[in-house]
């Protein structure tokens, strides 16, 4: 059969995967968004359904005043002796920690902190031993992939942290994962930075603690030389073996907006590539060490059909799974119902690293029509295409001296410009529409069946190449207002991809 990449669309970076019985589970980074670390499950590797989040309580993670692209980095998901473990970093507080659960569909424990620095932590279990790895500097001042043995019940280090591999010379050595395969230990990592030079490298040895010999043909997977190919930034992967004995590599990558337009705004997504072990024990990945937008394979049965959801509404999404908040929300400002949401605005706007009244869903493809009907009593409410507090486009209904108006506002760095305003007099409700292409967003208002164009803005100014950071665009619904009780009601939301 032929499957298409990405297998999880939208801003879901740094995938980590494990298999329990005949089910696969996958987690991704969440940065400043809450709940944190989304969890997916699959039976066939290509169709993924979100089932929850690991970090659902404020006691588990500090996100208050976290800057965009701060917070929760690069989780690792593992299963050992009937228990799931997720280890990650709060990059803002510079703390590595892990949590656990005996029920993947239930709540997770409070954090257990590990006294080892760096980011992108990994857990490796072997019999009664637990190894913890991250990138950084060890207890002796040596940089690289750093490892210690720890007591899993408490997080207490049992050995000093020691650098066990320095990579192949690429910058930003990160994302370590350790595996034992056919009696040998494989240490996989990412190098080159999570941009256009990203790559996956690996080494192997006869002990979990090294020494490790680098694969002679590293990088084992990268798209860094595929200029003009839509899929770029391939790296940060995790190996998994399927039920038939085949190996696969889940990894992040991003889709640029055009053949030679080196901008991406959907964020880093989840991609899948086949892995093949040679008789010498070294493995190769992908197609000639690259990942393709589609793979033809006999490893997945022809009876499997890859699903691609095209329509997202209030009614067919789950507030607790598909939607998320900026940092820790004030629960009293949200009334979430099956077919509508009521938001209470505050003086906190989208322009500051705090928690405005905002609920968002990830943009999953380039071409989309986004619409929502909004009723407002005071303040401002609307749809935002949100990259971070300094880079977002807002299509909003707000109060003015005459009554109400619809505005198109562009926020690009320090420039905040209301490009157009249409007066509505005393009409306090309207349908707002955004039509998205790979390179442009177009903004419309519909009143009594008449649609009016306010303007357009280039997607590139919401891209990582302009805004920086590690996230992607979210389609957000928001409300602001200094007056207590500034309320807005959102109905008939839809996002239709083509």
Instruction: Give me the active site residues, please.
Output: 14, 174
Helix, coil or strand: residue 331: helix
The secondary structure of 391-452 as a DSSP string is EEEEEEEEEETTEEEEEEEEEETTEEEEEEEEEEET--EEEEEEEE-SSEEEEEEEETTEEE
List, in order, residues 6 or more apart from 259 with CB less than 8 Å away.
228, 229, 230
Helix, coil or strand: residue 367: coil
Structure tokens at 220: 């084992």
Phi, psi (degrees; rounded to nearest 5) at 349: -100, 180
Alpha-carbon gap, residue 406 to 423, rounded angstroms: 7
In the block, tokens 């006869």 appear at: 206
Q: Rounded to a whole number, what is the distance in angstroms from the first to the last CA of the chain? A: 23
HSE of 265, CA atoms in CB hemisphere, 13 A: 31
Helix, coil or strand: residue 483: coil
Rg of the chain over all Cα atoms, to the nearest angstrom: 23
In the block, tokens 């907006």 appear at: 257
Cβ–Cβ < 8 Å for 495, 475: yes
Helix, coil or strand: residue 252: strand
Alpha-carbon gap, residue 99 to 141, rounded angstroms: 28
Cβ–Cβ < 8 Å for 254, 267: yes
Helix, coil or strand: residue 333: helix
The secondary structure of 59-125 as a DSSP string is GG---TTPPTT-SEEEEEEEEETTEEEEEEEETTTTEEEEEEES-TTS--PPPEEES--SSS-EEEE
Within 10 A of 293 (CB to CB), how many other CB atoms are there? 13
Alpha-carbon gap, residue 46 to 233, rounded angstroms: 20
Q: Which of 288, 308, 187 is nearest to 229 (CA)?
A: 288
List, in order, residues 6 or more apart from 433 with CB less than 8 Å away.
369, 370, 371, 443, 444, 445, 446, 451
Q: Which of 93, 106, 121 is nearest to 57 (CA)?
A: 106
Phi, psi (degrees; rounded to nearest 5) at 58: -65, -25
């Amino acid at each position: 059969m032929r499957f298409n990449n990405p297998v999880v669309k939208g801003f879901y970076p740094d995938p980590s995967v494990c298999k329990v019985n005949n089910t696969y589970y996958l987690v991704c980074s969440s940065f400043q968004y809450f709940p944190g670390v989304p969890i997916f499950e699959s039976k066939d590797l290509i169709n993924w359904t979100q089932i929850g989040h690991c970090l659902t309580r404020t006691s588990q993670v500090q996100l208050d005043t976290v800057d965009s692209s701060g917070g929760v980095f690069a989780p690792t998901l593992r299963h050992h002796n009937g228990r799931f473990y997720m280890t990650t970093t709060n990059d803002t507080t510079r703390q590595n920690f892990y949590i656990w659960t005996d029920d993947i569909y239930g709540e997770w424990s409070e954090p257990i902190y590990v006294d080892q620095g760096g980011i992108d932590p990994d857990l490796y279990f072997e019999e009664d031993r637990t190894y913890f790895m991250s990138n950084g500097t060890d207890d002796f001042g040596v940089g690289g992939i750093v490892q210690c043995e720890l007591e899993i019940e408490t997080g207490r280090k049992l050995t000093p942290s020691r650098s066990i591999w320095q990579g192949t010379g690429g910058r930003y050595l990160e994302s370590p994962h350790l595996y034992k395969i056919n009696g040998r230990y494989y240490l996989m990592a990412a190098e080159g930075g999570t941009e256009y030079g990203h790559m996956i490298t690996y080494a192997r040895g006869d002990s979990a603690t090294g020494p490790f010999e680098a694969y002679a043909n590293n990088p084992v997977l990268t798209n860094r030389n595929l200029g003009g190919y839509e899929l770029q930034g391939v790296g940060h992967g995790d190996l998994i073996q399927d039920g038939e004995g085949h190996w696969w590599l889940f990894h992040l990558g991003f889709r640029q907006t055009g053949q030679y337009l080196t901008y991406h705004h959907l964020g880093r997504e989840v991609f899948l590539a086949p892995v093949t072990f040679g008789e010498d024990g070294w493995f190769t990945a992908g197609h000639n060490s690259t990942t393709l937008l589609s793979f033809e394979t006999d490893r997945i049965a022809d009876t499997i059909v890859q699903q691609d959801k095209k329509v997202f509404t209030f009614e067919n999404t789950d507030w607790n799974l598909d939607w998320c908040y900026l940092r820790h929300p004030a629960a009293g400002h949200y009334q979430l119902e099956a077919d509508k949401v009521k938001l209470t605005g505050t003086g906190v706007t989208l322009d500051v690293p705090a928690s405005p009244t905002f609920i968002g869903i990830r943009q999953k493809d380039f071409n989309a029509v986004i619409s929502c009907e909004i009723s407002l009593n005071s303040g401002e409410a609307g749809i935002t295409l949100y990259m971070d507090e300094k880079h977002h486009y807002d299509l909003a209904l707000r109060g003015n001296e005459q009554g109400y108006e619809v505005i198109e506002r562009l926020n690009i760095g320090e420039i905040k410009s209301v490009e157009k305003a249409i007066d509505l007099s005393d009409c306090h409700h309207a349908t707002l529409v955004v039509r998205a292409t790979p390179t442009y967003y177009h903004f419309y208002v519909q009143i009594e069946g008449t649609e009016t164009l306010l303007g357009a803005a280039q997607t590139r100014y919401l891209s990582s190449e302009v805004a920086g950071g590690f996230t992607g665009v979210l389609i957000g619904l928001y409300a602001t207002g200094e007056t207590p009780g500034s309320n807005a009601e959102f109905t008939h939301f839809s996002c239709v991809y083509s």
